[in-house]
Amino acid sequence: MKNPLWKYFILSAVVFSKEGNYINPIIPGAHPDPSICRVGDDYYIVNSSFEFFPGLPIHHSRDLVNWELVGHGLHREDQCNGEMNLVDVQSDGGIHAPTIRYNKGTFYIITTNVYNRGDGTPGKMVNFIITAKKASGPWSKPHIIEGAPGIDPDIFFDDNGKVYFTGTHAPGDMNKNGIGEIWIQELNLKDWKLVGKRHTVWDGAFGCCTEGPHIYKGNGLYYLMVAEGGTGRNHAVMIAASKQIFGPYEENPRNPILTSRHLTDKYFVNSTGHADLVELPDGRWYMVALGKRNDLNGDSNMGRETYLMPVSWEPAIVKWEQVSKTKWEPVKYLWPVVSPQSGKVERYAPLPFPEKKQYRNDEFIDDFDIKGLNLEWNFVRVPKNGTYSISENPGYFRLYAKPDWIKNRKQFSLVGFRQKESDFEYEVKMKFSPSDDKVECGIIHYQKEYNYLASTVYKDNRKFFLSLRLAEKHKDPIPLKKIRLNNYRDEIIFKVISNDDKYNFFYSLDYGNSFESYSVTKAEVVLDRNYTGAYLGMYATSNGKESSDFADYEWVRYKGFSR
């Protein structure tokens, strides 16, 4: 029996933004460190994905405001092992700050995998490139760039045919991993090797946490744009320019060109930064950047999301040159001005293409009726073989209960999609008839392995129970609620309603005809204030023992509500 509310979800899935405007963020949910490129009239954005798999989500648009997830750069297990380890990668490790570019029929994504063994030895940062003929894939195996320290690499294709790698390193040591200074070196794509001399070119405007470099060329100049100030409320975007790729670079006297550090804590977004620029076919420019909404006590369970701003170009003096013994003349460069009318990320801004309205799709529905798994689903790390099946019981997603609990560096039976609004309704129908006691299956609101809310059903001595468990940082997981399900047979519908910064938990044992409330918690309990963002999903565990038990999920319904 299908959910009686399914028509409500479909009918309310598409709404319009304010007349003549679009609403930010353009890609809601955990989508940080956006990089954008244009191919004709098509636009593509890639984002960081950290320890989640598949990694490197890629969205496509033809109007800059309506974005569709079309694939992932890392979508196969053979891309994610060896030096590219996403199997037992640490929490907050994995894939950081990609750049996407297109050149002569090929897409390129260059990025970093950050991995440490957890035994006190220094972590390793592996910079690599993947390629594809279509942004939707398939993507190649990673081409590792040896001898490239640091994170957040950029790839730049010059009009003379040369290709350049731009990266970061520790201040004063261009061979040491770290952030703080930007370096550039020529890159040979035939053998994926760096060639020639490495040049340290800039340490940013303030010299603090300089990272996220991108190179552009225009107005007779090379522009080097970076992020600075860390990933919190001091985050900012700076830019410099030079007549030569290796410098010297002159700083924009108007830096930073984007930040929210000067705004009130009550503004709708904070921590704006880590940006990329794109030129439209008609010569206009736009910027994408990350930011965090102030939806929940000045923060957001969605983490860092992708925002869009218009850009104009204006001259500013960078230095004075002596042209004679008595005469000096100003040297002016053209510089990008972000959100020219306000200088900040706006919640509502004029549509880039007025004839193309923005459609807000704040819902996610999956009936598991198609052959493949919907692109929205993510696992925490590459899942073990046999974790799930979409073919054993057609029309259902089968999640097997594995011995592993939710722990750092572990592969456990959890699959989820990104939370995209602070206010939402989430419903899941599950069939679960365990043979073993204390095998548990249900739903989860997952922020980190130490920060989640799990609502699960389990059997104990032929009796069934529903348990809500909370994990918080530096604390052992605790049960918030436990109730006996006297009338449980083999099906349950979970419902979570988020409203007024509270999560209300409900369940139904009569196919959704009636719901019982069983707990209310503050949304802040899963506010980790980290940078990966929350997921809503399903979870199963056999709690340390081998088991053949599983849960079959018939459908998932999610609807977000913008504030």
Averaged confidence pLDDT in the chain: 94
CB 144 within 8 A of CB 192: yes
Please give the torsion angle defined by the CA atoms of residues 136, 14, 554 and 512, in that order, rounded to the nearest 10 degrees.
Answer: 170
User: How far, in Å, CA of 209 to CA of 95, rounded?
Assistant: 18
| pLDDT < 70 positions in the chain | 1-17, 120-122
- Residue 308 main-chain phi, psi, to 5 deg: -125, 135
Omega of the bond leading into 122 within 30 degrees of 0 (cis)? no
**Percent of the chain scoring above 90 in pLDDT:** 88
CB 91 within 8 A of CB 114: no
The pair of structure tokens assigned to 229 is 């100030």
Beta strands, E only, 411-450: 413-418, 423-431, 440-448
Annotated active-site residue 33? The verdict is: yes
pLDDT in tens, 452-499: 999 999 999 999 999 999 999 889 999 999 999 999 999 999 999 999
Q: pLDDT at position 17, please?
A: 55
Residue type, 489: R
CA-closest candidate to residue 216, choices 257, 263, 272: 257
Q: Which residue in 51, 186, 211, 363 is the catalytic one? A: 211
The distance between the two most distant Cα atoms of the chain, rounded to a whole number of Å, is 97
Three-state DSSP at 10 gives helix
Q: What share of the chain is helix, strand, coil (3-state, %, to 5)?
A: 5, 50, 45
Sorted by where each starts, the structural domains of the chain and their CATH numbers stand as 18-357 (2.115.10.20), 363-561 (2.60.120.200)
User: Which residue pairs, CB below 8 angstroms and at least 24 apart, start in 483-491?
Assistant: 483/518, 485/457, 485/509, 488/457, 488/464, 490/431, 490/432, 490/433, 491/429, 491/430, 491/431, 491/432
Task: Answer left, alpha or beta for residue 231, where phi above 0 means left and psi between -120 and 50 means alpha.
Answer: alpha
User: How far, in Å, CA of 7 to CA of 9, rounded?
Assistant: 5
User: How far, in Å, CA of 441 to CA of 233, rounded?
Assistant: 38
Handedness of CA 402, 408, 410, 415 (dihedral sign): positive
Three-state DSSP at 525 gives helix
Residue type, 311: V
User: How far, in Å, CA of 79 to CA of 89, rounded?
Assistant: 14
Q: CB-based burial of residue 315 (10 Å sphere; 0-12 exposed, 13-18 middle, 19+ buried)?
A: exposed
Please give the torsion angle defined by the CA atoms of residues 269, 271, 276 and 279, in that order, rounded to the nearest 10 degrees.
Answer: 30
Q: pLDDT at position 368, please?
A: 97
The pair of structure tokens assigned to 487 is 């009338």
Please give the torsion angle defined by the CA atoms of residues 521, 91, 33 and 350, in that order, rounded to the nearest 10 degrees.
Answer: -10
User: How far, in Å, CA of 538 to CA of 509, rounded?
Assistant: 18
Q: What is the Cα gyration radius of the chain?
A: 25
User: What DSSP letter does each residue of 243-285 carry, written as one string?
Assistant: SSTT-PPEEPTT--SEE-TTS-TTSSEEEEEEEEEEE-TTS-E
pTM for the model? 0.96
The pair of structure tokens assigned to 342 is 């306000």
CA distances from 183 to 153, 171, 190, 203, 211 (A): 10, 11, 21, 9, 10
The pair of structure tokens assigned to 496 is 């979570």
CA distances from 439 to 92, 352, 410, 464, 549 (A): 29, 52, 18, 11, 7
CB 29 within 8 A of CB 305: yes
